[in-house]
Amino acid sequence: MSDADAPVLSVRDLTVDFPAADGGAALRAVEEISFDLAAGGALGIVGESGSGKSTTALALLGLHRRSGARVSGRIMLGDDDVNALDDESVRRLRGRRIAMIFQDPLSALDPYYRIGDQISEVYRTHTGAGRRAAWARAVEVLDRVGIPDAARRARARPHEFSGGMRQRALIAMALACEPEILVADEPTSALDVTVQAQILDLIDELRADTGMALLLVTHDLGVVSRSVERVLVMQNGRAVEEGPVSEVLRSPAEPYTRALLAAVPRIDAPRPARREPGEPLLTVAGLTREFRRPGGGLRHDVMRAVDDVSLDIRRGETLGVVGESGSGKTTLARMIVRLLEPTAGSIVFAGQDITRLPDRRLRPIRRDLQMVFQDPVSSLNPRRTVGDSIADPLRVQGTGDREALRTARELMERVGLDAARHDRYPHEFSGGQRQRMGIARALSLRPKLLVCDEPVSALDVSTQAQILELLSGLQEEYELTIMFVSHDLAVVRQVSDRVAVMHNGELVELAEAGELYDAPQHEYTRTLLAAVPVLA
Amino acid sequence: MTRYLLRRFASTVVLLLVMVALIYVIFYALPSNPAVLVCGKGCGGGQLAAIDHKLGLDQPEYLQFWHFLEGIFVGRDYSSGPDVSHCAAPCLGFSFQNDQPVLSLIGQRLPVSLSLTTGAMVVWLLVGVSAGVLSALRAGRLTDRVVTAASVLAYGAPIFVSGMLLLMLFCGYLHWLDFPVYVPLTENPAAWAKNLLLPWFTLAIAQAAVYTRLTRTGMLETLSEDHIRTFRAYGVRERRIVGRHAMRGTLTPIITLSAYDFGYILVGAMLTETLFGLPGLGQLIVQSSNNVDLPVVAGLTLVAGAAIVVANTAADLLYAVVDRRVVLS
Amino acid sequence: MTAELITEVGVSTEAPTRGRQVRRRLLADRMAMAGLVVAGVMIVAALAAPLLIHLEGQDPTTYHPELLDSARGGVPRGAFGGAGGAHWLGVEPTTGRDLFARALGGARISFLVAFGTLIVQILLGVSVGLAAGLGGKVADAFLGRLIDLAISFPQLIFAIALLAIVPGTFPRPILLMIVIGLFGWGGVARLIRGQVLSLRTRDYVAAARLSGAGRVRIALREILPGVSAPLVTYAALLLPSNMISEAGLSFLGVGVRPPDSSWGQMLSTATTWFQADPTYVLVPGLLLLLNVLAFTLLADGVRTALDPKAPSLRGGRK
């Protein structure tokens, strides 16, 4: 290894323990991790939640100090061991030689100060520059990261920026002192896919211009494949595999990496063709929903969350609905199951117009229209046992108590839960298990149409794959028609027969899945597809 | 923003009108015969009729209410036989006891109450905020536990108990201070402050405890927020992080929302003034209600209620200006 | 006054809490247990007041001028306000009435009014809060304002005014319950409304609606259980607050009237005696302080036991 290739960062046997609050056994979050980051290079750390990837990233800046965590091993930043330096020396490294950006750019900035001031503060801390010079530097870096009209926008406060702009501002803060290394902890996970693409492009560009090295922490293998040269796969605090991205992703050596890769839904792999779908089960025509925008001007500012959407869902098919945040996909889903009243338009289900049906007459139809929710925490009543939660819909519809509980236990077994735990409370289960409960509850009435609103977005990829598998099996068994709403184009492709794309409340394109992904007609669909990072 | 302001303003006006109606109902419509309350049991029919007439109680109730409102907004005339006395807006009527206009009674007592409450507020904000910050920065250590224990004790002590204990300690036992007597600020500032020392602390103690706790919780919460981590990750000095970012995040809501304490201040002032015999508004309302001096009590309640409504609205608006995110939620 | 602090009871509704677990946590909380013991002793003493006073051999109304030093303006003879075997806590200056008997009478009034008021507050607060949270937009807009009104108004000022105009023949303790309750339900209502509005948006409520459950069933099964824990905490914190309110009104001379005794009323006559007869001040003052403190600690213990993550009065973890 020649001198020019000497790593800027060299980590050896990094171990992080979090002592238990009540004096019990310490939790080992990271165990003996070692890696090198070459000057100007890019290393990705991937893993599911709990793998210790973020803990590792924070340790690189010495951010576990004062938290009570025990950090051991060497973290060599050039000739300095971050783990051995005194607090003051570490403080002087941070932001100047190694800078970090975070997942949620809104909460990562102080809401009370102007963005320019926050960047200036960092710059002045390390350079001792005057107010004016620091402000000029702030404007310069904001301009560099593509904030339009930076001199003016530097005076804005974080809440006046969009999500993508905030992440740009945070990147600008990182650039201010021209660090050797940028540590990015899930920098795009909170962003829409098109914005994500822009931010990742920006990071690429800055790396090329400044020569700074990148350490990218993410759960998303697509992002890794697109943005870094080397990758380190972590599981339960340990390094599973490390190597060049192309090798690790194409021919993984370790079973865990293989399993992880197999679980990732592929945007370029269509689902196997299924039997012909039947006639429309649900038809939506001109469906519109308006909301009053809060904090608007004097006039009632009306926002059309869903704007004149017409589509049908055919018996036995899965209709995927994709869109970014604010596209109106969730509003549409909630109107279809009559949780939200439409402002205009009609919903015809199994030949009956249910748009304005009063609650009492809607009740028998409710049996056929069920929903699986995104958030497995808020979708189960924390004060009711799992068995009760699953049996409740049956009880409401008039089934006897004993019979309802018996069915609930059967359903628990069917969705892969231990029926013996029917008298436990939801918080005793994992996220994936709770999502199974949500599915069991939705199935208890044997519905015809199941609307799934981002059912796997809160889950890790491997759990996500299991839930998708479960849904697909249940679809066959229960002859379900499914409307599958998601922001994730790959997941949607994997499960859907036909796909609808929504943008700003409008339905921009609806086609057979293969057709839509391979030959998108609408401009927006093309943009969306181009933005998705594809696994190499 | 504009709509938010207008909405707050409109609801404030509605609130004030509801309050005026409520006060009217309580004081003039509810008592079966206010004239008897005024005059006492010994009064005969003639006297009662005269009082009824003077107060306008012989008119239909809606008219009485109308005059009441009229008095507040444009002024009204009271006639008792030949002489007519005009009462300019905002007219709150005349005291039954000594025929003085209620408004001028309030005016006479106002300086005492203002002296008491502003001083107490300064004390509790200073003591509460600094104790809270100290306690948060030393969380879990001895200082924190001492401050917390003291604040629980102070918080549980009713004003008239803690005041009495202070009185016994500093006047009765240590003889450091004399029993407080009100001396106007304009007359002798030193004596004014020295005499108000005990009342200030009496009124401030319990509230200081509340602020200690609010500040402690707020500070710990702010310190655990993501943006604090950001500035740590960028090497900003800890002193500056605490002094600039954490303090701003903690104190902005606390100081802004202190305007909501107005109601508490009034009640506290009532008790403190009664305890120390200070001739302020609180003492006035207690004396007047013991004397069943209805116009004075009604007037004071109205003024106090209006002040509170206005103060709360001001706090809302201030908060919205300081933290625009409030408006959006 | 306590309401200031009560209004920021942070209550999370996530973890379900089972009776056993809550009891265990509460029993392990030493401060709360100390509060429980003190409060328990006080309540028992108040209930058994006639018996205890009989044991002492005194009664609360008999004057004992022979025990007073008329040369010194009617101060009780002897140290500590004349305390001794006959009069356990001494006697009142100027009248010579037995202080132990009067203090116990005060305890009875204090508890009676505090608990009675609590019932009024909960009845009013829960019904208005539920109506606002579940009743739809118009009801909420109106009731929400009403709740704001009830909270921001200085209840004691109104109470004074109202107490002043009610004829003296009306039983005072009941009047106090009504008046303090009438102006003190806002906090309960706000708590309930806030909880209901927040619980209403949970997906599990949506799921219940999807299964065809009606409003009543949703309110009873899905929403009310989530409201009960914070309500218990809040109610526990209201008790000491109500005690202070009663004592305050009696101190101002509009509360309990002679011959009934109340700690606040005793304190108000004691004001002028703080130098000559400190015992007379300390007996009701410390009793009130101790009692309020005990109930506050107990309430705070209940809060922590029901929800260990909630911010506690006594600090603790973040």
Q: Which domains can be identified in chain A, with CATH numbers?
A: 9-97+181-189+215-261 (3.40.50.300), 315-340+356-531 (3.40.50.300)
Q: What phi, psi does C173 have (nearest 5°)?
A: -60, -40
- Mean pLDDT, residues A229-238 taken together: 94
Say if B308 is an interface residue toward chain C (CB within 8 Å). Answer: yes
Predicted pLDDT at A501: 96
The pLDDT of residue A125: 93
Query: Is C1 a member of any domain?
Result: no
Position A22 scores a pLDDT of 65
Structural domains of chain B ordered from first start: 2-91 (no CATH), 103-322 (1.10.3720.10)
Tell me whether residue C27 is in a domain. Answer: no
Contact B328, C174 (CB under 8 A): no
What DSSP character marks residue A460? Answer: -
Question: Which residues, including other chains, have CB under 8 Å from residue A71's CB and lie 6 or more apart?
Answer: A14, A15, A16, A59, A62, A64, A83
Q: Reduced to 3 states, what is the DSSP secondary structure of residue A374?
A: coil
pLDDT score for C54: 76
Dump pLDDT digits (tens) for A77-136.
988 999 999 999 999 999 999 999 998 888 899 988 999 999 999 999 999 899 999 999
CB A176 within 8 A of CB A123: yes
If phi over 0 gives left and psi between -120 and 50 gives alpha, with beta otherwise, what is residue C151?
alpha
Quick one: pLDDT at residue B262? 75
A96 touches chain B (CB under 8 A): yes
Mean pLDDT, chain A, whole residue set: 90
Q: Among A1-5, A326-330, B69-73, whose mean pLDDT is lowest?
A: A1-5
Q: C217 and A425 in contact by Cβ < 8 A?
A: no
Q: Which one-letter DSSP state was computed for residue A5?
A: G
Chain C CB contacts of B206 below 8 Å: 1
CB-nearest partner of A425 from C16, C208, C217: C16
pLDDT band at A536 (very low <50, low <70, confident <90, very high): low
Residues of chain C contacting residue B290, judged by C-beta atoms under 8 Å apart: 164, 253-254
Report yes or no on C13 lying in a domain: no
Task: Return the higher-pLDDT residue of A4 and B182.
Answer: B182
What count of other Cβ atoms lies within 10 Å of the Cβ of residue C31? 20
> Distance between CA B278 and CA B269 in Å, rounded?
10
Whether the per-residue pLDDT at A494 is higher than 50: the answer is: yes
The 3 state secondary structure assigned to A86-115 is CHHHHHHHECCCEEEECCCCCCCCCCCCCH
How many angstroms away from the CA of B225 is the closest CA of chain A?
Answer: 7
C244 inside domain: yes
Of A337, A374, A383, the CB nearest to C16: A383
How much is the ipTM here?
0.84
Weakly modelled stretches of chain B, pLDDT under 70 = 1-4, 28-45, 51-52, 54-57, 78-85, 88-89, 322-329
Determine how many CB atoms are found less than 10 A away from the CB of residue A525: 21
Query: B243: how many CB neighbours lie within 10 A of its CB?
Result: 12
Domains of chain C: total = 1
Question: In terms of C-beta density within 10 A (0-12 exposed, 13-18 middle, 19 or more buried), how is residue A500 classed?
Answer: buried
DSSP B121-160: HHHHHHHHHHHHHHHHHTTTSHHHHHHHHHHHHHHHS-HH
Q: Please write the tens of the pLDDT for every residue from A405-449.
A: 999 999 999 999 999 999 888 888 888 999 999 999 999 999 999
Is some CB atom of chain C closer than 8 A to the CB atom of B328?
no
Rounded (10°) angle between helices C19-28 and C30-47? 90
- Residues from chain B contacting residue C274 (CB–CB below 8 Å): 164, 167-168, 171-172
**pLDDT, position A50:** 85
Tell me, what's the pLDDT at C1?
33
Write out the E strands in chain C: 68-69, 75-76
Residues of B in contact with A94 (CB under 8 A): 232-235
Contacts of C240 in chain B (CB under 8 A): 156
The pLDDT, as a whole number, for residue A296 is 47
Token digits of residue A238: 């340990």
Domain interval for residue C139 = 34-306
Which other chains touch chain C, taking contact as 3+ CB pairs less than 8 Å apart?
A: A, B
Q: How confident is the model at residue C6 (pLDDT cuts 50, 70, 90)?
A: very low
Q: A330 or B264, which is more confident?
A: A330
Tokens of C217: 């069933």
What angle do helix axes C155-165 and C172-182 make, rounded to 10 degrees?
140
Q: What percent of chain C has pLDDT over 70?
A: 85
Query: Among all residues of chain C, which has the CA nearest to that of B144?
Result: C315
Catalogue the E-assigned strands of A19-69: 27-38, 42-46
The reply to whether C131 falls in a domain is yes
Residue C84 lies in a domain: yes
Residue B31, min C-alpha distance to chain C (Å) = 7
pLDDT value, residue A171: 95
Average pLDDT over residues A148-154: 93
Encode pLDDT of C193-248 as tens digits. Answer: 988 888 888 899 999 999 988 888 888 888 888 888 888 888 888 898 888 888 88
Answer yes or no: is C314 within a domain.
Answer: no
pLDDT in the model for residue C83: 66
In a domain, C7, yes or no: no
Q: How many residues does chain C have?
A: 318
pTM of the model: 0.81
pLDDT of residue A281: 93
Interface mutation vs chain B, best among A110, A120, A181, most B CBs within 10 Å:
A110
Say whether A373 and C206 touch across the interface (CB within 8 A). yes
Name the range with the highest mean pLDDT among A38-42, B60-64, B250-254, C297-301: A38-42
Please name the member of A339, A379, A425 whose beta carbon is closest to the beta carbon of C209.
Answer: A339
β-pair type (A80-81, A70-77): antiparallel
CB-CB neighbors (< 8 A) of B31 in chain C: 165
Closest-CA distance of chain A to residue B208, Å: 26
DSSP one-letter code for C277: -
Mutation target for C interface from B164, B260, B292: give the one with most C CBs within 10 A: B164
Q: What is the pLDDT of residues A287-307, one digit of tens each?
A: 999 987 655 444 557 888 999
Q: What pLDDT score does A228 carry?
A: 93
Which of A372-386, B34-48, C40-54, C241-255 is least confident? B34-48
pLDDT in tens, B167-189: 888 887 788 887 888 888 888 88
Give the model's confidence band at C13: pLDDT under 50 very low, under 70 low, under 90 confident, else very high: very low
Q: pLDDT band at residue A59, thresholds of 50, 70 and 90? A: very high
- Report the pLDDT value the prediction gives residue A327, as an integer from 0 to 100: 92
User: What is residue B329's predicted lDDT score, i.e. its pLDDT?
Assistant: 38
> B176 touching C, CB under 8 A?
no
Report the pLDDT value the prediction gives residue A213, as an integer from 0 to 100: 95
Q: Is the pLDDT of residue A309 over 90?
A: yes
Contacts of C234 (CB under 8 A, 6+ apart): C6, C9, C187, C188, C191
Residues, chain B? 329
Residues facing residue A42 across a β-bridge? A214
CATH number at residue C197: 1.10.3720.10
